[in-house]
Amino acid sequence: MAVHETAQVENTTLGTAEVREYVTIHDADIADGVQIYEGASIKKATIHGPTDINANVYVENATLGESVQVGPNASIVGVTHDLSDTGMEFRNDTFDEIAIENGAFVGANAVVLPGVTVGENAVIGAGTTVTEDVPAETVVRSATETVRRSL
pLDDT in tens, 104-116: 999 999 999 999 9
- Is there a catalytic annotation at residue 81? yes
Please indicate whether residue 48 or residue 143 has the higher confidence score (pLDDT): 48
Taking alpha carbons only, the member of 144, 103, 145, 110 closest to residue 124 is 110
Work out how many domains the chain is built from and give that number.
1
Burial 42-52 (b: 16+ CB within 10 A, else e): bbbbbbbbebb
Helix (H/G/I), strand (E/B), else coil: 71: coil
Give the number of C-alpha atoms closer than 13 A to the C-alpha of residue 25, restricted to the C-beta side.
Answer: 29
- Structural domain including 129 reads 2-148
Map 110-143 to HEC letters.
CEECCCCEECCCCEECCCCEECCCECCCEEEEEC
pTM score: 0.90
CATH number, domain of 86, equals 2.160.10.10
Q: What is the pLDDT of residues 92-140, one digit of tens each?
A: 888 899 999 999 999 999 999 999 999 999 999 999 999 999 999 999 9
